[in-house]
C-alpha cells in the first residue's frame, strides 16, 4: 500500500512539475512577438529566445509579425470564388467579379492584441468597403483593362488611411487585383474581343512608330542632300552669272571705244548663230567684196 501511495505521489509531483515548467518557460522566434500581461498590465517582448513567465500570474499571447496575405473574393486554399465578396457594381452599372489580395503586417503587437477583438475581421470589412467604393467610381472597361494599376493604388491609399485612423496595430503593405472578369460568359467573350482589339491597336501603333523612326532619318538625309545639291547649283549659277557679267562688262567697254564697229560685229556673230549654214557676204562702201563668213576654206 505504501508503494502505491508513493507512486501516486510521484505521479502527482511529476504532473505538478510539468505544469510548472510548461507554465514558466516559453520560446520566441524572429517571426513572433509576445504580449505578456501581468495583473492586467501588458508589455511587449520582441527579442527571440527562451523566456520565462510567472505561472498563474502572467499570460503570454504570441503575435505573428511577418508579412501576411488576406484574400478577398475567393478562398485562398481552394481557389473557389466567394460571390458575396467578389461581385460588385461599376460606375456604368455593370456587374463584375474582382478578387483581391491584401498584403499586411502587424506593426504594433500591443494595439493588435487589445485595440480590437477581431482585428483581421475588422480589416477585411474595411477593405471590402474601400474596394467597393473605388470600383464603383470606374467603368467596367477600366476595371478589366487599363485601369487596374490606378484602382489598386487608390484602394491601397484609402485602406491605409482608414486602418491608421482605427489604430489597431496593422500596417497595409499593398493591394493587388488577382483577377477581374465579367459575371457572364457572353460578357466575358465581348470584353475579350475588346481586349484583343486594344492589343492589336497597340501593336499597330508600335509598328507605325517604328516606321516613323526609320523613315524620318532617311527623309532628313534626303533633305540634307537636296540642300547641298541646291547650294552647289546655286554656287555654280552664281559663278556662271559672274562670268557672263565679266564678259558683258568687257564687251561694253569695247563698245564704248568703238560703238559702230562693235554693233556690226555683234550683229554678224548673232546672225552666224541664228543661221549657221548661211554665208554672209560683207560688201564695202566701194561695192567690192571684202569678207565672206564663214570662210569655206576653214569650214572644209
**pLDDT tens readout for residues 76-94:** 888 888 888 998 889 988 8
Q: State the pLDDT at residue 105.
A: 95
State the pLDDT confidence band at 295, using cuts at 50, 70 and 90. very low
Among candidate residues 137, 209, 125, 191, the one with its CA nearest the CA of residue 163: 125
The pTM for the full model equals: 0.56
> Could you report how far apart the first and last alpha carbons of the chain are, in Å?
166
Compute the average pLDDT of residues 282-296: 55
Whose cell is 537636296? That residue is 226
Compute the average pLDDT of residues 197-214: 81
Q: State the pLDDT at residue 270.
A: 77
Rounded CA gap, 214 and 221, in Å?
12
- CATH number belonging to domain 68-183: 3.30.479.30
Lowest mean pLDDT among 162-166, 244-248, 277-281: 277-281
How big, in percent rounded to 5, are the helix, strand and coil portions of the chain? 55, 25, 20
Rounded CA gap, 55 and 269, in Å?
136
DSSP line for 131-189: HHHHHTTS-HHHHHTTTHHHHHHHHHHHHHHHHHHHT-SEEEEEEEEEEEE-SSHHHHH
Q: State the pLDDT at residue 226.
A: 87
Per-domain boundaries in the chain: 2-62, 68-183, 186-257, 258-300
Q: Helix count (H) and strand count (E) of the chain?
A: 9, 11
Output the average pLDDT for the chain: 81
**pLDDT tens readout for residues 105-119:** 999 999 999 988 899
Rounded CA gap, 181 and 99, in Å?
9
Pairing of strands 289-293, 280-283: antiparallel
Compute the average pLDDT of residues 257-281: 72
Q: What percent of the chain has pLDDT over 70?
A: 80
State the pLDDT confidence band at 212, using cuts at 50, 70 and 90. confident
Largest Cα–Cα distance of the chain, in whole Å?
Answer: 186
- Provide CB contacts within 8 A for 146, sequence distance 6+: 198
Rounded CA gap, 33 and 84, in Å?
34
State the pLDDT confidence band at 122, using cuts at 50, 70 and 90. very high
Among candidate residues 189, 176, 190, the one with its CA nearest the CA of residue 131: 176
Amino acid at each position: 500500500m505504501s508503494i502505491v501511495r508513493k507512486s501516486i505521489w510521484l505521479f502527482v509531483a511529476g504532473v505538478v512539475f510539468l505544469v510548472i515548467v510548461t507554465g514558466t518557460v516559453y520560446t520566441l522566434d524572429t517571426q513572433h512577438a509576445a504580449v505578456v500581461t501581468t495583473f492586467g498590465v501588458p508589455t511587449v517582448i520582441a527579442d527571440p529566445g527562451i523566456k520565462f513567465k510567472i505561472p498563474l500570474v502572467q499570460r503570454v499571447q504570441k503575435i505573428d509579425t511577418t508579412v501576411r496575405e488576406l484574400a478577398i473574393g475567393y478562398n485562398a486554399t481552394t481557389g473557389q470564388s466567394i460571390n458575396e465578396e467578389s461581385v460588385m457594381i461599376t460606375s456604368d452599372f455593370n456587374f463584375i467579379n474582382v478578387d483581391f489580395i491584401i498584403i499586411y503586417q502587424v506593426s504594433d503587437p500591443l494595439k493588435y492584441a487589445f485595440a480590437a477583438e477581431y482585428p483581421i475581421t475588422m480589416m477585411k470589412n474595411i477593405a471590402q468597403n474601400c474596394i467597393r467604393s473605388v470600383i464603383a467610381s470606374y467603368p467596367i472597361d477600366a476595371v478589366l483593362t487599363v485601369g487596374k494599376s490606378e484602382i489598386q493604388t487608390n484602394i491601397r491609399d484609402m485602406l491605409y488611411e482608414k486602418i491608421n485612423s482605427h489604430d489597431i496595430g496593422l500596417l497595409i503593405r499593398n493591394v493587388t487585383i488577382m483577377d477581374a472578369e465579367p459575371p457572364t460568359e457572353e460578357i466575358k467573350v465581348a470584353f475579350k474581343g475588346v481586349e484583343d482589339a486594344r492589343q492589336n491597336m497597340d501593336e499597330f501603333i508600335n509598328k507605325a512608330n517604328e516606321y516613323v523612326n526609320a523613315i524620318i532619318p532617311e527623309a532628313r538625309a534626303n533633305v540634307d542632300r537636296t540642300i547641298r545639291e541646291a547650294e552647289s547649283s546655286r554656287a555654280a549659277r552664281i559663278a556662271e552669272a559672274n562670268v557672263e557679267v565679266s564678259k558683258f562688262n568687257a564687251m561694253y567697254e569695247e563698245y564704248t571705244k568703238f560703238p559702230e564697229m562693235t554693233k556690226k560685229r555683234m550683229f554678224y556673230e548673232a546672225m552666224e548663230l541664228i543661221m549657221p549654214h548661211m554665208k554672209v557676204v560683207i560688201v564695202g562702201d566701194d561695192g567690192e567684196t571684202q569678207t565672206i563668213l564663214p570662210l569655206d576654206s576653214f569650214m572644209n
